[in-house]
Structure 1
Amino acid sequence: MNFQCEPLGQKIKILMVNPLVPSSQLILIKILSGSVFGDNVFIDLLLLVYSDKVATAETLKWELEKCAFSNTNSIQVTTNLPRPKDAAVFCIMSDFENPNYFDIDGMDNETQFDTMYLLIKFANYLEWTEDDEANDEKDRIKPIFVSDGLIAMDILFSLSKNLPRDLFFCPSPIEAISKSVLGDHLNVRFNQINEVRVWAANDRVFHVEVEKPIIITDSVGDGSNTECDRRIISKETLQSSKLDYTQFNSTWMRKEFIEKVASYAARNPYGCIYKAAEFAKSLKQIWKARTGGTKVCSNMGVISDGSIGTAKGCPYVMPLIFNGKSWKVNKCYEDNSYLKQEMKRINKAAEEEHQKVLVVFIIYFLNLSSFFVIWCSLSLLL
């Protein structure tokens, strides 16, 4: 008899911060069912909670174990703050009402305070120790920290002691919203829209470019027809969409299109299912680049390295190219004069958002015992 054997998959240790919120539980189901890391892996899962939430977390652990997901190796509940070497992937779910915009008025309740406090405590504990450096752990391990938005990512990087900026990531809804808006306007399917590039400080201040032609299957010719407006869309496609060139052109893309995307984003489309889907998608892309040996392009939140005129050390959403354990900013629009102009506006907003986070840190370190009281007072001032 001939037997065909496959090598056992690798073990991946994953730590979930704030696992009791609905979006975290949906992400855990995706991870343990193989939708993120693939089928041939074994997950060692750590659930980080407050000590008074251990009983609830144990119930969640029991439910996940009873699901008998094929990727599950072990599940543990912990209240101990981890070090960077304690997991390969750290999933941080803040569950803020808007995880990408620091709205102090939306964080004036005890639940939001508890989340912010947990994030600060967790981030403040992240550092490579002297023993790690002596044992080459710092060079051997390059963990992934994925949060649900720019706020949590900024907190983690700003308070961690000596972790490099290229470890931190977060998803962004702007790409999906942009394709949805264009699909509705042109009366085409979402997946027919060409590649979208996003540069953003948050969900209110951003810029979007779409590869030409706008519709992947569109035939725009050689651009000799000046009405085609730089080969954006064909005359036939406009007619089928019941539009003319005054209703869809490069000027519309820079103004009305951006306004429509901003209006949609302002409705706060952050339900737990949507957040979990975007989170899992981003984590899957990062892991694919690390293990698949292929380059992956994606719009994602990162801590800026100063590329294309951004403020180094501030959080942005940018078009990235992942290659192995590293990433770089896609500079295909680096020489675009309009993007350079827009980056001034985006930089200003990014620095302002970063300053808001720093103010909270100062309050936290000055008077931890009355942090919640001062936090509520701060909401009246900002």
Structure 2
Amino acid sequence: MNLEITSLPSPLRVIVVNPLVPAAQLIAVKILSGTVFGTNQLIDLTLLVYSNELQMAEAFILELENCAFSCVNSMHTSSNLPSITDADVFCFITNFPNPNCIDFYNVITDEMFDSFYLIIKIANNLFGPISNIAEIVKENVINKKNIKSEQKPIFIADGLVAIDILKSLSTNVPYDVFFCPTPLTSIGKNILGEYLKVETDEINDLLVWAANDSVFHVEVEKPLVIQDTISGDNCDWNLVGKDVLRKTNLDHTQFNESWLKKDFIEKMESFASRNPYGCIYKASQISKTLQDIWASRSTECELKSYCSMGVISDESLGTIKGHPYVLPLIFSGDHWCVNERFKENTHLKMEIKRINKVAQEQHEKVMC
């Protein structure tokens, strides 16, 4: 009898900041149940709270223990500020009504202030003698077995505001480890799916550039429906085929490039203005974003992952370096680059200038 033994990867150290809010609790459940990092990945979970919240955090730990999740290696609470080497994944959940844009003219609640204060305290503590990611990895290798030598930490937040604070106030932390989800991709696919009378998973990839949920630009890979057949008789007809249009009772004069650039964007703006940031939505989006980031890290083959999410700009396509944007990314391992599929698009270049202006204004408001 031939037996094959597969060794499990080292436990993944996850710190959840502000874990008592409902969205964070749902994320913790998803992580421990294996739906984010896989069922073979053990988790060392730390719940980071204020000292006066330790008792409530311990009660939540007890609840999680009673669930007997298969991916649990260890769980504990802490009120100590973490350093960059204390975890592989840092998950920040805020109490901001819209985590991608803060309205400073409205009253800031105690919960919002607590989120601001905790993020600022943690960001200020993310510094030390470690000056680059290679040294961070070296220290992690000493503390853990079988860690991939190229692995970088992941800092994921629920919006652009949090990653802006974290990057701006931390020291010696690379720009390419900060991430947040965006609702714009799912909003766009829902609108196109409803308009074309197809399932959302049949819609082709959406590439998103954004400063927030109201100032953005979207390009959709063509054909819009993945399995569609295009005749190629007209330059506007590469969007959808005749069979798809027949189901919608539309023609090419009603559904063309002009519709995508104007009406489609207006529909997305209207939908996003309803502020979809409930706890279930936040948990779902953050979990999906973590899955997208992890997809190219968790395999030995050269798997690439394509998605749009919030990051700190590397100055690609004329964006402002060091500012938070939603950008279309290509992941390979723990590295990412901006998808330049539409870099020669004149309309996109104009839109990025508009997006840059808002991104600069928002950054100045957050850091003032």
Structure 2-normalised TM-score?
A: 0.93
Matched residue type, 1:178: G
Which of 273, 281, 291 matches 1:274? 281
Cα separation, partners in 2 of 1:275 and 1:107, compared to 1, 3 Å: farther
Post-superposition offset of 1:286: 1.1
Aligned to 1:380: none
Deviations 1:307-361 (A, max 9, x none): 00001110000110111121100000000011001111111111111111111xx
Show the 5 A alignment for 1:210-359: 210-221=220-231, 223=232, 225-226=233-234, 229-292=236-299, 293=301, 294-359=303-368
- For the residues of structure 2 that align with 1:344 and 1:4, how far apart are their CA atoms? 56
Given the alignment, which residue of 197, 204, 212 partners 2:214?
204
Residues 337/133 of structure 1: CA separation in 2 closer, same or farther (3 Å cut): closer
Deviation sequence 1:201-225 (CA, Å, 0-9, x none): 000000001111111121112x2x2
Q: Secondary structure at the match of 2:212?
A: coil
Moved more, 89-98 or 283-292: 283-292
Cα distance change on mapping 1:265 and 1:37 into 2, 3 Å = same
Alpha-carbon distance in 2 for matches of 1:53, 1:347: 40
Deviation at 1:112, TM superposition (A): 0.8
Residue matched to 2:56: 56
Q: Which residue among 153, 162, 187 is the counterpart of 1:152?
A: 162
C-alpha separation between the residues in 2 aligned to 1:22 and 1:39? 23
What amino acid is the match of 1:335?
E
Q: Distance in 1 between matches of 2:171 and 2:259?
A: 45
- Check conservation: 2:210, 2:355, Cα contact below 8 A: yes
Report the alpha carbon displacement of residue 40 of structure 1 after superposing the two structures with TM. 1.2
- Residues 1:204 and 1:86: Cα distance change in structure 2 (over 3 Å): same
**Equivalent AA in structure 1 for residue 309 of structure 2:** M
Judge conservation of contact 1:14–1:90 (CA < 8 Å) in 2: yes
Inter-partner Cα distance in structure 1 for 2:202 and 2:81: 45
Q: Which residue in the other structure is 1:175 paired with?
A: 185
Aligned partner of residue 290 in structure 1, secondary structure: coil
Residues 259-279 of structure 1, C-alpha deviation per residue, up to 9 Å, x if partnerless? 000100000011111111110
What residue in structure 2 maps to residue 137 of structure 1?
A: 135
Q: Normalized per residue, which structure has more helix? A: 1
Deviation, 1:187, is 1.6
Name the CA distance, whole Å, in 2 between partners of 1:107 and 1:322: 39
**1:8 Cα deviation from its structure 2 partner:** 3.0
**Structure 1 residue 95: deviation in Å?**
2.9
CA distance in 2, matches of 1:214, 1:63: 45
1:289 to partner: Cα distance: 1.3
Q: CA deviation at 1:244?
A: 2.0
Query: CA deviation digits over 1:170-194, x for unaligned, max 9?
Result: 0101000000011111121111111
Matched, 1:118 2:97: no
Shift, 1:9, TM fit: 3.2
- Partners of 1:192 and 1:133 in 2: how far apart? 45
Residue 322 of structure 2 aligns to a residue whose secondary structure is coil
- The answer to whether the 8 Å contact 1:10/1:40 transfers is no
**Distance in 1 of aligned mates of 2:171 and 2:131:** 14
- CA 1:106–1:29 in 2, change beyond 3 Å: closer, same or farther? farther
Distance 2:62 2:212 in 1: 38
| 1:99 and 1:148 in contact (8 A); partners too | yes
| Residues 85 and 137, structure 1, Cα contact 8 Å, conserved in 2 | no
